[in-house]
Amino acid sequence: MNPRNPYRHEISFDQHVWLPSTSQNYRSIVDLIEDRDFVEKLIKSRLEVALHITEHSPVASNKILSALSETDIAKVRKKIADLGDVETRHSLISIGSHHFPEMRGKMQTTTANPPDHIHRMQRGQWYIGDLYSADMVGSSLANLGISFAPRANYLDFGCSSGSLIRALKAFSPESVFHGVDPIVSSIEWAQRHIPGSHFSVSDTVPPLKHEAGSFQGVTAISIWSHLGENEALAWFDEMHRVIEDGGWLFFTTHGDSAISYFNRDPAHSTRRILALLEGLINNDYVFEEVYLGKSPEGLSATGYGNAYFRRSWVERNLSKKWEIVHFGAAENQGNQDVYVLKKLPSTLTSQISSMVTSPLRRVWRKKTKLSK
């Protein structure tokens, strides 16, 4: 018998800490770290995890479907039933486009899809573009009183092979859409198969080839979710350059809720989840290395992996040049946060920078004036 422990209490990893009763099953800290329910409680106690996800209004889908008559809709519904598919707004658009060429013309959709070796984010048997993101963008902007204007120029930053542009072009045919991406094969495919839009290859670092103030708005779905901090800030500055004064930037990224989202995925170890949690608690920005050397697309993995940042990081780093007009926690598929930023006018940006960065200069000027 151990004279220091005559009652044979369970002893923790610290020999001076004993459990009061041997009737309880002792769980080491290592066991707790592997317990996802325990980790989830820890995440929710320290981060602002979204408890209710706002659903997007089907702004884009409804507009596209409005081109069809009731007779057209009835035909598509019958086809969906024959195929044993589930009827949704998106399936009405996609199956209608694939099976009825005349309806495809009315909706201004396209059924051309990249082959397997061409990069794109979504795939599917009846795929006609990223309708989910089009609804997300359209809904968020509509709630702010913003719409896509005829003949105005818009950019999809990191467009891959044009999945979102295809859907946005059907939603707003009179608008002019541009796409940039560093994957050459994706851009070449989009140029050949998505008429009426403009695509160009971009570098992995700024600048873009476009002139200052070229765009009224920019979309970027899950782009800043992969950029290192220096790269992220550099691209925010470049977006500020190419967007006109008063224009908007719509982007999605990992935040607090993403940590909880990935904790539910067995592919992510609890050790990795806890490291990400630690990063956000201590610094409100954390970077996760995913690739060594190059990404699967052959791009440099320097500053490219998974990034997670909180709203406080956005406010701290971007408030001199941007106004946050919308923040939606986990509004992108229950995972990524949604931001809409409004570019502050250049004159106001200069005033804010002067006020924030030069308080001593203001004091010096005041003292100088009093001494005269």
Instruction: Please write the tens of the pLDDT for every residue from 60-71.
Output: 999 999 999 999
Extract the tokens encoding 209.
Answer: 């080839």
- pLDDT score, position 360: 39
Residue 40 has pLDDT above 60, yes or no: yes
Q: What is the mean pLDDT of residues 277-287?
A: 94
Instruction: Output the pLDDT for position 294.
Output: 87
**Per-residue pLDDT tens digits for 109-124:** 999 999 989 988 778 8
Q: How many CB atoms lie within 10 A of CB 80?
A: 20
- Closest to 307 in 3D by CA, of 271, 268, 329, 336: 336
Instruction: Report the candidate in 275, 226, 240 with the shortest Cα–Cα distance to residue 350.
Output: 240
Q: What crossing angle do the helices spanning 131-143 and 163-171 adopt, rounded to 10°?
A: 50
Rounded mean pLDDT of 90-101? 98
Q: Tell me: the pLDDT tens digits for 167-221?
A: 999 999 999 999 999 999 999 999 999 999 999 999 999 999 999 999 999 999 9
Mean pLDDT of 68-85: 98
Using the CB atoms, write b or e for 119-142: b if 16+ within 10 Å: bbeeeeebbbbbbbbbbbbbbbbe
Residue 299 or 226, more confident: 226
Domains of the chain: 128-353 (3.40.50.150)
Q: If you average pLDDT over residues 48-67, what whole number do you get?
A: 96
pTM for this entry: 0.88
- Give the residue-averaged pLDDT of 228-242: 97
List own/partner pairs for 347-350 with CB under 8 A and 24 or more apart.
349/320, 349/321
Query: Measured between alpha carbons, how far is 291 from 300 in angstroms, rounded to an integer?
Result: 9
Q: What is the pLDDT of residue 24?
A: 61
Percent of the chain at pLDDT exceeding 70 = 88
Residue 338 DSSP SS3: strand
The SS3 of residue 304 is strand
